[in-house]
Amino acid sequence: MPFYEVSHAYPLTSAQEDELAQAITKIHLSKFPLVPTFFVNVAFKDVSRRSSFVGGKRHRANHLTGRVRLGDRTPADFEDMRDQLEEAWNKIVLKPAQDKLGAKEGAKYELQTLVLSPGNPIGKEGGFEIPIAGQEKAWLEKHWTEFKKRADAGDEQFVDMVKHVEAQGKL
């Protein structure tokens, strides 16, 4: 948690997927710095063969959806994140498509929707309960010994998380 899904009706390159996943992760962590890196999940789904409709009419479109924890975060936090995500999409996907294909053809690469759905999910991530947003520090302290043990054993997700936490001075 959070879980971002990019549904694209027009092809993205592997480099674009990598860059977009990194941008989404960076944006999320800049807004909510206590979130462990391995919590930020991004998935890409090619929906070019799926039937979809807008206003009752057949329409191929691109969508970015994020399911994120609510906690004590404000609507302004999510609105800022929404705008940063749109900027990242436009820089990484839309602008290159317009430059390559022209404005009219490249417009197919616009986002039809960008929706963030804040909530208070109950679940697990990497085998650990998902903390309530805003309570990440207590959660990190509670599980730090196990996180370090997994990192020391070479679990890449935990290596990255421990490195991120230590670099941020979160504990």
Structure tokens at 122: 């109950």
Query: Would residue 40 count as lying in a domain?
Result: yes
CB-count burial class (<10 Å; 0-12, 13-18, 19+) for 8: buried
Structure tokens at 96: 């290159």
User: In terms of residue numbers, what domain contains 17?
Assistant: 3-126
CATH of the domain at 27: 3.30.429.10
Q: Are 27 and 84 a contacting pair, CB within 8 Å?
A: yes
Query: Would residue 148 count as lying in a domain?
Result: no
Buried/exposed 118-132: b ≥16 CB within 10 Å, e otherwise: beebeeebeeeebbb
Over the stretch 7-55, which tens digit does the pLDDT of each residue have?
999 999 999 999 999 999 999 999 988 888 888 999 999 999 998 888 8
Over the stretch 108-141, which tens digit does the pLDDT of each residue have?
999 999 999 998 888 888 888 888 888 888 988 9
Global pTM reads 0.83
